[in-house]
Amino acid sequence: MKILLLADVKGQGKKGDVINVSDGYANNFLLKRGLGAVATADKINSVEIHNKAVEKQKAAEQQKAREDAARLKGQTVRITAATGSQGKMYGSITNKEIADELSKMGYTVDKKQVILKEPIRATGNYTATVKLYAEIAVQINIVVD
């Protein structure tokens, strides 16, 4: 029996795959638990249309991430930190503060996308990585005054 998988099934396939399984396995496991549906032409066609739409959306997001990476590459973020009389900082600069500064500069960056090796605890020049998409990352410069 041909079954269209509605969810990932270990050992069988991923969501959207059309697999050929025995009638008993299909009726007693896949159909009963809502993991699959009988593969009709309408269902297969609707899944293909959905997959094309998802691919198009992912391609648009990836293109936007590439454009943002080109604009963001080599940018310098200036952060002013409160320091004591001997130039020692109170607290540290974290990825949240860097993401906030990038937002002020016009970039849409979440704090989870900013990767620091460790929090910045002293004034000076540093680098950070901004991961915009799965394989699209860019280095930025950080100047702490």
Q: Is the pLDDT of residue 87 over 80?
A: no
Average pLDDT over all residues of the chain: 93
Residue 35: partners with Cβ closer than 8 Å, 6 or more residues away: 5, 6, 7, 9, 29
Q: 55 and 83, same structural domain?
A: no
- In 3D space, the residue among 139, 127, 115, 136 whose CA is nearest the CA of residue 67 turns out to be 136
* pTM > 0.75: yes or no: no
Q: What is the share, in percent, of the chain residues with pLDDT greater than 70? A: 100
Q: Which two structure tokens, joined as six digits, stand for 103?
A: 């937002």
The region of weakest confidence among 4-18, 85-99, 122-136 is 85-99
The answer, yes or no, to whether residue 61 has pLDDT greater than 80, is yes
Q: Are residues 18 and 37 in the same domain?
A: yes
Given a cut of 90, whether residue 56 has pLDDT beyond it is yes
Do 80 and 136 fall into the same domain?
yes
| Domain extent for 104 | 67-144
70-85 in b/e form (b: 16+ CB < 10 A) is eebeeeebebebeeee
User: Is there a single domain that holds both residue 71 and residue 124?
Assistant: yes
Q: Looking at residue 145, what is its pLDDT?
A: 87
Q: Which among 60, 80, 96 is the end of a domain?
A: 60
Q: Are residues 137 and 76 located together in one domain of the fold? A: yes
Residues 39, 106 within the same domain: no
